[in-house]
Amino acid sequence: MILNSVEEFRQRYHSEKKWRRCLQAIANLPRLKPGVCHSIGDSLVYRLVDGPVAAAPCFTGKRRYVEIHYYLSGSETVAYTPKRALVRQSAYSDETDRETFNGEATGSLTAGPGQLLIFDNDHAYRPLGADHLRKMILMVTIEGATFHNK
């Protein structure tokens, strides 16, 4: 899903604490340094990416987190497809909440400054790279997810 602004995100996702924490994280942007992970409570982890971004060699899927990319400058095209339409490349890792896939994209979205891409758990995505990109990546837990490695 693509949203065109933080205000649109605020209007859609204002009722749950975990989504309000995303807005807290976005408000913290002026104090962030690229590559440093931060968290708010037990439901949100976030970091800033600033620089060139290589194209991903495969699709990535999540199970316990919804991933949100908030674009600050530059633009990026991301291919996506339902996980069920892909071939699993590597097994799911509970430690990283990541599994990788090969296959063909069923669609793509290009996002630029001010926009947010939200990746749900039924789909896998593959960023196609960017010469220079500044974006915030937020990982929000899914309700009822457990942390077996904690």
**2-141 homologous superfamily:** YhcH/YjgK/YiaL (2.60.120.370)
Question: Any idea where the domains of the chain sit in the sequence?
Answer: 2-141
One-letter amino acid identity for 97? D
Backbone torsions φ then ψ of 78, nearest 5 degrees: -125, 125
Tokens representing 56? 């991903």
Name the one residue in this structure whose structure tokens are 């859609």. 12
Q: pTM score, two decimals?
A: 0.89
**Tens-digit pLDDT profile for the chain (150 aa)?**
899 999 999 999 877 788 889 999 999 999 999 989 999 988 899 999 999 999 999 999 999 999 999 999 999 999 999 999 999 999 999 999 999 999 999 999 999 999 999 998 999 999 999 999 999 999 999 865 444 443
